[in-house]
Structure 1
Amino acid sequence: MTWAESFLNPISHTWFLNIIQDDFMGGKINLENTIELLKKFQLPFDRAHVKHVFKKTVDKRKEHMINTEDFRAIYRTIVHRPEFLELFRAYSPNSKTVAHDQVVEFLKKEQYETENCETTALEIILKYEPIEEVRKRRQLSFEGFIRYMDSEECSVFKSHHRTVYQDMNYPLCDYFISSSHNTYLISDQLIGPSHLWGYTSALLKGCRCLEIDCWDGSNNEPIVHHGHTLTSKIPFRSVIQVIEKYAFEVSDYPVVLSLENHCSPQQQEVMADYLESILGEKLLTSTIGEARVTQLPSPEALKFKILIKNKKVGTLEESMLRRDLDSHGEKGEVSESENVSDDEDDSDDTAPLWPQHDSSKRKGEGTSSAPPRKKAKMKKVKIALALSDLVIYTKSEKFVSFEHSQNHQKCYENNSIGEVRARKFVKHSAREFVLHTSKFITRIYPKGTRATSSNYNPQEFWNVGCQMVALNFQTPGIQMELQNGKFLDNGGSGYILKPEFLRNQGATFTPHNVGRYSRSMSLSIKLISGHQLPPSSLSKTNKADPLVQIEIYGVPEDQTKKRSSVIKSNALSPRWDETFSFTIQVPELALIRFCVEDEISLVSNEFLGQYTLPVLSLNKGYRNVPLLAKDGTNLKPASLFVHIWYY
C-alpha cells in the first residue's frame, strides 16, 4: 500500500502535515521524539513495535534520526491497516471519504445494527473524525474510519452487556455469583502470605462472595489465615475494614462473607462486634419484610448490603424474635452446634502441614449419589448467639444428600461441596444436582491437594447451576480466564441470571442430556488479522510466529477447539483470512475463548494473549477482539480483527 493510496484525500495530507510540522523544525527527530509525536495522533500503539519499525528504518545509517518521509512511513506501518482500507473503499465511491448515508449502510449491512442507525452514524462521525473540514461535511475520512474500527463500539463484546441489563428481581439462588476461595491468600495454600490485597483485588474484579478463615488470636483479637499451615496472619478487624471500603466500588449488588469460623465463643463475639460497628448500615441484620422466609430476596432488594454466611443456632425466625425483643442480656450466650465452620468439608480439605484429630470428617467424601453418608463423629462446638444472629439469608448447612435437602432444607440454608464430590454428582446425579441448585445456593470449593492454589474448571459446575463456584483468584490460567469472561456479562456486577432451564424446578435439563432445552446456535467466525500482538519473549527482532486457538467451553457436547495456521515472523500485522464454524447446543451456558500463541516448536507454544466472553455476548459483524495478559491486564493495542455471524 503506497502513501498515495493511504492518504488519497489532500485534506488528510494537509491535516497530517499540520500535526507534525512543529516537531520537524530541526529537520530530523530521534526515537523518543517519534514516540512523542505519535501520541499526538491519539491512537494506541505499542512502544516495542514502534521501536522495532524505527530501527528498521534507520538500519545502516550513521545517525539514528528520521525525516518527515520516514515518519510518514512509520505512521502508515503502525496505523494504516490494509484490512480496514479494503472495507473503507467498499463504502467510499471516491476512495477519499464515506458520507453519512454510506456510514448508515455500513452499520446496517456489515455491523448488523437495526436501530437508530442514522443517529449512530452521525455520532460516529462527530466522535471519531479528526479532520474538522471533513467532520463539518458529516463525512468520515480513512483516518476517522480507522479510529471508529479501533474503538470499543466495534468490540466483539456487546455494548449493552457492559451495563446491568438482566432482571435482578429473582431470588438470589437464581443467579451465578462471582465467588472467591480463601480470599486472603495471594500465593500458595501452605506457606504463602495472607494479605488484605486479596480482598481488595477480588472486590475490584467484581467478586461478590469472599471467604474469611477466622481463628483465635492473641489479646482477644480474631485473626485470618489458613489454619494448620505456615501462611501468615492478618487481623480480622482489618479484613472487615477493607471490605467495608471496597465492597461496592464495582457493583451495587450484595456481598456475601463466607466465614470459616474456628474461633472460641469469646472471639466470635468480638467478630460480631466488628461486623456491626465497622460495616454499620451495610450489614444485613434482619429479614426484608416478614420474618418467616419462604423465598430468598433478590439481588435488587439486597443492594448495598453485606450478608454473613456461617453456621446458625436454631431457625431464622427465632433469631429475628430475639433481635426484636432486643435481648441484650443474651448477647453473651452460646449454643452448641456440631461444627462451627461454615463448610464442614472445607475446614478439612485444606491440605494442612500436620494431620488433625478430626480428619475423620472426610470419610465418605467419595460417595457419588444421593444416599446419606455415614455421619462422622464430631465434637460439639459452641457458637456465640451474637454472631449467629447476624446470619440471615445465608445459613451454612451441612450437605447430607439431595433427598435430605429436598425434604428438610430451608430456602435460606446453603451448602458447600468439595470439587471431588461435586464432580461425582455431576457425573452420576446430574438431574438431582440441577434440581438442588434450582432451590438452594450451593458453593463449590477446590480440593485440599491444590497446595499451589491451582484451580478446577468452573464450567462443569456452572453447567448444573451451582451459584458460588469458588476459585483461587490469585492464580492466573484458563480457569480464571473463564471466570473473568463469564462475569464480564451483566455489567460486571458479579451476578448473572441463570438460564430458565436451571431455575425451573420442573425442568429435566442435564449437561449430558440437553433435550428439548437445546436451542442450538450456528456460529461462524472469520479470523481476519492481528494487530500489534505481543512479540515473543524469545525473539530479538520483535517478531513471533502467531497462531490463534478458538475454544468453546460449555456442556460436554459443546466443548471444542479449532486452530488457525501459523503466520511466520509477524507479530505486528499477521493476516489469516480463515473461517471457523461451530454448532453450539446450549449457547446460554457457553463461553468462547480466543487465545493467541507463538509457535516455538511443533509441540510447544508460548502464550501471547487471550480474550474470553459468553457466546451470547458476541457482537455480529466486523469486530476487534482485545487481548489480555495472563493476569487479566489489557494488552492494548494488541487485538484480533474478526467477522462474526450466527443464527
Structure 2
Amino acid sequence: ARDAACACASGVSQTARRDGKELSHRISVRFNPCCLISSLTSSLTRTHTLTLSHTHTLTLSHTRIHAGVLRSVHSATSDEEMVMWVKGLTWLVSDTLRSPTPLQIERWLRKQFYAVDRSREDRISCKDLKSMLCQVNYRVPNMRFLREKLPDGELRNGDVSYSHFAQLYRSLMFDAQKSVSHTLIERPEQKISLEDFQNFLIEHQKELWATDNNKVQEFMLHYLKDPLREIEQPYFHQDEFLTYLFSKENTIWDVQLDQVRPEDMNNPLSHYWISSSHNTYLTGDQFSSESSLEAYARCLRMGCRCIELDCWDGPDGMPVIYHGHTLTTKIKFNDVLSTIKEHAFVTSDYPIILSIEDHCSIVQQRNMATYFKKVFGEMLLTKAVDISADGLPSPNQLKRKILIKHKKLAEGSAYEEVSSSTPYSENDISNSIKNGILYLEDPINHEWYPHFFVLTSNKIYYSEETSSNQGNEDEEEHREPESLISLPKPVFTCVRCFVCSVLIWFTETTRSLKVTVCLCSPLRWKGDYGGKKQLWFPANYVEEISPTAAEPDRSQATENSPLGDLLRGSVDVSSCQIVVRPEGKGSRQFVFSLVPVASPRTGPVLDIAASSQEELKDWVMKIREVTMTSEAKLEEGKMMERRKKIALELSDLVIYCRPVPFDEDKIGTERACFRDMSSFPETKAEKYVNRIKGKKFLQYNRLQLSRIYPRGQRLDSSNYDPLPMWLCGSQLVALNFQTADKPMQMNQALFMLNGRSGYVLQPSIMRDDTFDPFDRHSLRGVEPITVCIEVLGARHLPKHGRGIVCPLIEIEVCGAEYDNAKQRTDSEADNGLNPTWPRKPFRFTVCNPSFAFLRFVVYEIDMFNDQNFLAQATFPISCLKTGYRSVPLKNSYSEDLELASLLVHMDIVRGRVSALGYHGREGSFEARYQSPLEDFRVSQETLLDHESRRLRRARVSADNRA
C-alpha cells in the first residue's frame, strides 16, 4: 500500500469524455505536510467510500451530503491503475488518522502559514501574521503585542519565517493556559520526565496500564516521534505536556469500547437498540430533495442496521424508490440493492433489516422478490434460524444476514387482502392528491415567489417561501470542473492551491437581509425572516402583518397539516370557487384564483400562479375534482389501504419482521408473537412512552420489535427526541440521518458503543419486570452517581461568521426524565483559539447512569446576546474516563473538527451523596424549590441560634445580678 501511495504521488493519466470528445489529464497526490489530507480522511474510514467499477472508474463518495457534494469520479486507464489508486489513498487515510497530535499540529501550522505565503519565500509579513491569527479565532490587540512575542531578528526585516511562526504559536498557547499544567506537576519549571508522567497517569488519570514503565515509555516515544529523545529516556517540555492534555490521546472516551463485545451479542434482537434510518434514500427535505445511492452507502458505513426502501411502480416492470407524490428524485430499485450489498457489512458484520414501504403492484412485487434473491444470494434470510425458538434470534446467529421487513400473508393464502399496520392519514404528504411548486404574490413588493402546495381531499396547503431551482443545483453538482482537465491552451495553476473548486450552497431564500444598525439603538422587534425564527430585528426593518383567514392559528394548523412547521397557510377548497385569469396578473401569465363562495368577507382571494399552461390546467382540474368528491376520495383512500394485496413470492421472504397493527391487549399474553412487530409515528408513540403506559410498552418490547418514525409533517427532515422511545425499550427508533440536530447527535453517541456495530444491548434493568422507565424508585440494584465537572480551557474552536467568537460551554445530562439537567460557564471574551475558564465545579446527580448521556455544547454569544452553535460532543456517561481529560469536539453532523477540543476535569462519585452536597438540577422541581427551602432552613437555624444566644445572655445577666 505504501508503494501504491508513492505511485500516486508521481501521478497517473486519466481520461474523461465531454461533448463526445475524449480528454486526458494527470492527477497526483503530493506528499506535503501542509496538504490537508485529513479533510478527506476524517470520514473516509467511516463514511467515505472508494468504489471500483468494471469501467475502470474510481468513485470517491463523500459524506458531506449536507454540503451538496455527493461524489467525485475519476477514471483510470486499467484495473491495475485503479486498484493502485485505491490502495494508495486508503494507506494515506489510515496513516493520517494514526498520526499523533504533534504531527497533526505541524500539518495545521504549515497549512495556515503557506496559505498566506503566496510568494513561496518561506516568510510572511507581520501584517499578514496578525490577519492570520484573526482567521484562527485569536484577537491580536496591536502590532506591539506581536513585536514583544517575536525575536528581535525577525523584526529588523519586518518578516516572519515559518519556524518563528510555529514558535509564536506554541508560546501563545502555553502562556494562555500554563496555569492548568502547573498544578499537576511537582516541578513545573523543569522538563517532565518519564517518572513524572507515569505518576500523573496513575494518580490523576487512574490509568491502570501506566503501572508498566515500558508501556509508558513506548507511549511517549510514539506520541513525540522525536528520534533525539529515543537515545535516552523520553521527556516532555512544558508546552508539550499541556498540548498532550488537550490531545486526542488523552480523550475522555474509553477507547476500549471501540471494540465489539461478542459475548454481549447473544440475546434476542428485541433486547437491543438498533441503529435505524428513516427514508434513507433522501439527502435533504422530504418533498424536494435528491434521492441518492450515496445516502444508503453513507448510512451503512455509519453503522446503521435498519434502512428504509420506499418502493413505487416504475418503468420496465421494476420499482423505483422515492418519497411518493413529492418532488424528490427517483432511483432504481436494483441499483439500491447493489449499493446495499456492497456496503452492508463493511462497518459491521451484524444483521441488516430492510424496512420495505411497499406501494407496488403484484407484478412488480414479484420482481422485487426475484431481485432480492438474485442480488443478495446467501446473505438473504429465507428461513427461520430455529423453528422451535420462543423468541427472536440473536445478532450472533444472524451475522452477515439481511432480513426483510414487509407485510406477510397468512399461511395458505396466495393473494390475501391485508390491513395496514399504519393507519391512513391525510397528513402524510405521500397520500396527497397533488403537490408541487406554485407562486404567490408578495403583498409588499408585488414580486412572485415560489411556495410548495399540497392538495388533500378537502384543503390546499402552502408552505413558506421555498426554492424552485433544485434541478439547476443538481445539474451543477455533477458538472466536472474545468480546472481538472488539461486543454491545448496554456493553463496556470497555483503551486500551493489546496482547493480545486468551491460551490457555495444556500438553503435560505435568495433574498438576503443585510442591514447596518447602530448598536445603541434600543428599538428591536421579534420576528421571522427566511429560516430565522423569532429573532430580534431593527424596528425600522420590521412590518407588523396581521393574520388573515387564509393563515389560521399556527399552533393548531401545523398539527393537522401535511406541511407541519413549514405551513404558511391553507384554504378549504370545498368553500371556494376557482377562477382562471386568462389575462394573468402582473408578471405572471398563468394565474388562477380561489374565491370564497359565500362572501369575500369570509376570507381574502388567493391568487396562485403556475409556471405553464399545462400545469395550471392540471391544478385547476384536480381542485375541481376535490370540491365535488372530497368525501368519496377520502373513503376510497382508506379502502385502498385495507384492500392492499401482497405477492406470495415477496411474502415468503418475511421471516421475523412481520408488521401488524398494534394490539395493546395482547401484551403479556400467549397471543403475543415474537415474529410480529408494529410501527408507530412519533405522535402515536408518545401515547405509550409516558408515565401511564411506559411500563406496559417496555413489556411489549422485551418480546417484540417496534419501529418509531418521524411524523409526516416533518417535511424539513427534522427529528424527534429519541430518548423516551429508547427508555421504553423501542429498538428501531428511525431518524433522518441527513439532518444535523440534537436527536441525531444523541443517536450517534449511543451507537458509539459496542464498536459502532449498530447494536447496543439494553441495560439489564430494562428486563426487570418491576422497572418503570419513569419512576426512579424502581431502579433496583442500580447505583446512582454524582458527576463533578470543571471546564478548564479550549483550543481551536471554529469560527462563526467573520468575527472572533466569545465562547461559553453548556454541560447537559440527558437521559431519564428525572436525570435531565443543564448548566453552563460564563462566556470568554474574544478568544476562540485558547480560551480558559476559572475553576468552577458543575455537579450532576444521575440516578440511572446506564441510560444517561453527557453532552458538551460550545456556543458563541453575539452582539445581540443571541447564542450561536459552534461545536458539540456527546457521550454515554458510563463510558467516560475521570481525571484531566480532553473532549474532542465535533460539528453539528458529528464530524471531527480539526484539533478542536475542551480540557475538563472529571470526577465520578458512586452512591448517594449527602443532602449538604446536593445540587438541584436546573429546570427540575428540585432546582426551583431547593434554594428557597435551603434559605428557609438557614433562616430558621439562624433564628434559633440567635434566640439561644439571647437566652444565654439573659441567663448570665441574671446570674450576675444575683
Q: TM-score per shorter chain, which class?
A: 0.7 to 0.9
The correspondence of residues 132-281 of structure 1 with structure 2, limited to 5 A, is 132-142=227-237, 145-146=241-242, 148-165=244-261, 167-281=264-378
Q: Distance in 2 between matches of 1:500 and 1:532?
A: 40
Q: 2:591 — aligned with what?
A: none
Deviations, residues 201-238 of structure 1 (Å, cap 9, x unaligned): 11121111001111111210111111222222111111
Q: Distance in 1 between matches of 2:695 and 2:863?
A: 44
Task: Write the letter of the residue equivalent to 2:852.
Answer: A
Task: Write the letter of the residue equivalent to 1:630.
Answer: S
Question: 8 Å contact 2:181–2:242 — kept in the other structure?
Answer: no
Which residue, 418, 438, 448 being the options, matches 1:338?
Answer: 418
Task: Write the letter of the residue equivalent to 1:447.
Answer: R
Q: Distance in 1 between matches of 2:725 and 2:325?
A: 29
Question: 8 Å contact 1:206–1:250 — kept in the other structure?
Answer: yes
Which residue, 656, 660, 671 being the options, matches 1:393?
Answer: 656
Q: Distance in 2 between matches of 1:547 and 1:605?
A: 9
Task: Work out whether 1:112 is the aligned partner of 2:206.
Answer: yes
- Report the secondary structure of 2:677's partner residue: strand
Task: Write the letter of the residue equivalent to 1:337.
Answer: E
Q: 1:80 — aligned with what?
A: 174
Deviations, residues 318-343 of structure 1 (Å, cap 9, x unaligned): 8xxxxxxxxxxxxxx9421324x6x5
- Report the secondary structure of 1:203's partner residue: helix
Change (3 A) 1:192 1:345: farther
What's the CA shift for 1:135?
Answer: 3.4
Q: 1:97 — aligned with what?
A: 191
Task: Work out whether 1:482 is the aligned partner of 2:746.
Answer: yes
What's the CA shift for 1:47?
Answer: 10
Task: Write the letter of the residue equivalent to 1:575.
Answer: T
Task: Work out whether 1:379 is the aligned partner of 2:642.
Answer: yes
Question: 8 Å contact 1:177–1:495 — kept in the other structure?
Answer: yes
- Report the secondary structure of 1:408's partner residue: coil
- Give the paired residue count: 580
Q: Distance in 2 between matches of 1:419 and 1:95?
A: 59
- Report the secondary structure of 1:624's partner residue: strand
The correspondence of residues 313-328 of structure 1 with structure 2, limited to 5 A, is 313-314=409-410
Q: Distance in 2 between matches of 1:356 and 1:115?
A: 65
Q: Distance in 2 between matches of 1:46 and 1:308?
A: 55
Question: 8 Å contact 2:689–2:728 — kept in the other structure?
Answer: yes
- Report the secondary structure of 1:421's partner residue: helix
What's the CA shift for 1:97?
Answer: 2.9
Change (3 A) 1:259 1:47: farther
Change (3 A) 1:72 1:184: closer
Question: 8 Å contact 2:381–2:401 — kept in the other structure?
Answer: yes
Question: 8 Å contact 1:619–1:644 — kept in the other structure?
Answer: yes
Larger C-alpha radius of gyration, 1 or 2? 2
Moved more, 149-158 or 270-279: 149-158
Change (3 A) 1:619 1:358: farther
Task: Work out whether 1:415 is the aligned partner of 2:678.
Answer: yes
Task: Write the letter of the residue equivalent to 1:267.
Answer: Q
Task: Write the letter of the residue equivalent to 1:336.
Answer: E
Deviations, residues 448-489 of structure 1 (Å, cap 9, x unaligned): 111111110111111111111111111111111111111111
Q: Distance in 1 between matches of 2:426 and 2:729?
A: 25
Q: 1:327 — aligned with what?
A: none
Q: Distance in 1 between matches of 2:398 and 2:162?
A: 61
Deviations, residues 95-134 of structure 1 (Å, cap 9, x unaligned): 4333333222111111111245324312222212343343
Moved more, 45-54 or 161-170: 45-54
Change (3 A) 1:129 1:229: closer
Question: 8 Å contact 1:54–1:74 — kept in the other structure?
Answer: no
TM-score for the superposition, normalised by structure 1: 0.82
The correspondence of residues 56-75 of structure 1 with structure 2, limited to 5 A, is 57=146, 65-67=159-161, 70-71=164-165, 73-75=167-169
Task: Work out whether 1:311 is the aligned partner of 2:432.
Answer: no
Deviations, residues 395-419 of structure 1 (Å, cap 9, x unaligned): 2222122545744231121111111
Q: Distance in 2 between matches of 1:159 and 1:30?
A: 39
Deviations, residues 495-550 of structure 1 (Å, cap 9, x unaligned): 1110112234x2332224452334211001110001011123141xxx21100111
Which residue, 545, 554, 575 being the options, matches 2:815?
Answer: 554
Moved more, 635-644 or 598-607: 598-607
Moved more, 257-266 or 135-144: 135-144
- Report the secondary structure of 1:140's partner residue: coil
Task: Write the letter of the residue equivalent to 2:428.
Answer: T
What's the CA shift for 1:84?
Answer: 5.8
Task: Write the letter of the residue equivalent to 2:417.
Answer: S
Q: Distance in 1 between matches of 2:118 and 2:242?
A: 24
Deviations, residues 279-324 of structure 1 (Å, cap 9, x unaligned): 1222112222x32341211111211111111111236xx8xxxxxx
Q: Distance in 2 between matches of 1:283 and 1:384?
A: 18
Determine what percentage of the aligned residue pairs are the same residue. 32
Task: Write the letter of the residue equivalent to 1:221.
Answer: M
Change (3 A) 1:107 1:613: same
Q: 1:126 — aligned with what?
A: 221
TM-score for the superposition, normalised by structure 2: 0.56
What's the CA shift for 1:92?
Answer: 5.9
Task: Work out whether 1:594 is the aligned partner of 2:672.
Answer: no
Which residue, 365, 379, 387 being the options, matches 1:291?
Answer: 387
The correspondence of residues 532-551 of structure 1 with structure 2, limited to 5 A, is 532-539=796-803, 543-551=804-812
- Report the secondary structure of 2:298's partner residue: helix
Which residue, 703, 725, 742 being the options, matches 1:439?
Answer: 703
The correspondence of residues 495-644 of structure 1 with structure 2, limited to 5 A, is 495-504=759-768, 506-517=769-780, 518-539=782-803, 543-576=804-837, 577-601=839-863, 603-644=865-906
Q: Distance in 1 between matches of 2:393 and 2:228?
A: 56
Q: Distance in 1 between matches of 2:133 and 2:179?
A: 21
Moved more, 438-447 or 189-198: 189-198
Change (3 A) 1:105 1:345: farther
Task: Write the letter of the residue equivalent to 1:106.
Answer: F
Q: Distance in 2 between matches of 1:479 and 1:244?
A: 28
Q: Distance in 1 between matches of 2:882 and 2:233?
A: 26
Q: 2:50 — aligned with what?
A: none
Q: 1:321 — aligned with what?
A: none
Q: 2:85 — aligned with what?
A: none
What's the CA shift for 1:610?
Answer: 0.5
Moved more, 74-83 or 626-635: 74-83
Structure 1's unaligned 5+ residue stretches are: 1-14, 24-28, 38-44, 319-332, 360-364, 367-375
Deviations, residues 379-407 of structure 1 (Å, cap 9, x unaligned): 33221121111111222222122545744
What's the CA shift for 1:70?
Answer: 4.0
Question: 8 Å contact 1:128–1:144 — kept in the other structure?
Answer: no
What's the CA shift for 1:431?
Answer: 1.1
Q: Distance in 2 between matches of 1:414 and 1:68?
A: 63
Moved more, 230-239 or 402-411: 402-411
What's the CA shift for 1:638?
Answer: 1.1
Change (3 A) 1:597 1:407: same
Task: Write the letter of the residue equivalent to 2:748.
Answer: N
Task: Write the letter of the residue equivalent to 1:634.
Answer: D
